[in-house]
Structure 1
Amino acid sequence: MEKTFARIANAVARGAGRPITFILCMALIAVWGFSGPFLGFSETWQLIINTSTTIITFLMVFLIQNTQNRDGAAVQAKLDELVRVSAGKNSFIGIDHLTAAEVEEIRSTCEAAVARSQSSEPAGKRDKEEKRRQPQAQNT
């Protein structure tokens, strides 16, 4: 059942993100709007758009959240594998399970370490490194 739901969620998310879907929804709203005078701008006329958009929004929240959860987990697994196979410290694996305060503490520690290493480098080496990075920054 989970694989079926994942397939459906992916298909709906892909379809919802296409330009043609947006155009079709805009056309549907235009048809609804133009039908107002013919239906006397009745409560039923208003209820049609209100109910349909509410139901669609309600269902889309769960589908989008499902795809985001899976995408986030996949990216995290890839990052964990890159950290695992890299030389050096691999204690960052699994930090996505920490609280926001714990992650912020780790981030602050990393930033402080980078600042210390940059201030301890000889000025000539820093200048060469900055010059080497500048052309790459211009290309992006």
Structure 2
Amino acid sequence: MLPPPTASAAPTSSFFARFAARITAWSGTTMAFCLALALVAVWAATGPLFNYSATWQLVINTGTTIITFLMVFLIQRAQNKDSLVLHLKLNELIAAHKGASNRLINAQDFTEDEINLLHQYFCLLAAKAKLDHDLGRTHSVEEAEENHQEKRRARSHK
């Protein structure tokens, strides 16, 4: 098993990774929005100068299409990275918590059927917790099933 990357691995990231991160971060700024708004205003203001020609319309259509096309990939790249980091943090919390079910580590890699099955288990857990009338009590699915069975046995012996 490979050791986890360290913080010192960051400077060795590729040029594209650094470039994409900077563009993605900049594109969400007020300055980027104002620049885009100014470009649209300039384009609209030049409409009468070009008699609202097809070429004039083609300039804005082509420009916005190209920018949108490229930004989709940059945004998706950023979302993929953010999602992976979030999963890693959740995996760390699951692995570190004594009562947590380790089978949920890397749950993002489960099939849709496996996810639906786990969803059913957690719905069952929620239903059992609701019957407990104790919102502060938490436990794993296995513990919930054991607790539920113990409660049933205790009630049947009364």
Q: Distance in 2 between matches of 1:10 and 1:77?
A: 19
Q: Which 4+ stretches in 1 moved above 3 angstroms?
A: none
Q: Deviations over 1:85-138 (max 9, x none)?
A: 10122110011011233212202211211321331x3x5xx38x5xxxxxxxxx
Aligned amino acid, residue 96 of structure 1: Q
1:77 to partner: Cα distance: 0.6
**RMSD, aligned CA:** 1.8
Cα-to-partner distance string for 1:48-89 (whole Å, 9 max, x where unaligned): 101111110111011111111111011101100110010122
Q: Secondary structure at the match of 2:17?
A: helix
Is 2:92 aligned against 1:92?
A: no
Equivalent residue, structure 1, for 2:44: 33
SS at match of 2:105: coil
User: How many Å separate the matches in 1 of 2:110 and 2:90?
Assistant: 16
The 3-state SS of whatever aligns with 2:23 is helix
- TM normalised by structure 2 equals 0.72
Mark the runs of 5 or more structure 1 residues left unpaired by the alignment. Answer: 130-140
Consecutive unaligned residues in structure 2, runs of 5 or more:
1-11, 137-158
1:102 maps to which residue?
Answer: 114
Letter in 2 for 1:29: V
- For residue 22 of structure 1, what is the amino acid of its counterpart? F
Aligned residues: 124
Partner of 1:49: 60
3-state secondary structure, aligned to 1:91: helix
Identity level (%) = 39
Q: Which residue of 1 aligns with 2:147?
A: none
Indicate yes or no: 2:73 matched with 1:62.
yes
**Aligned-residue offset at 1:2:** 6.2
TM-score under structure 1 normalisation? 0.81
The answer for the alignment partner of 1:132 in structure 2 is none
Report the counterpart of residue 18 of structure 1 in structure 2.
29
**Which has the larger helix fraction?**
1
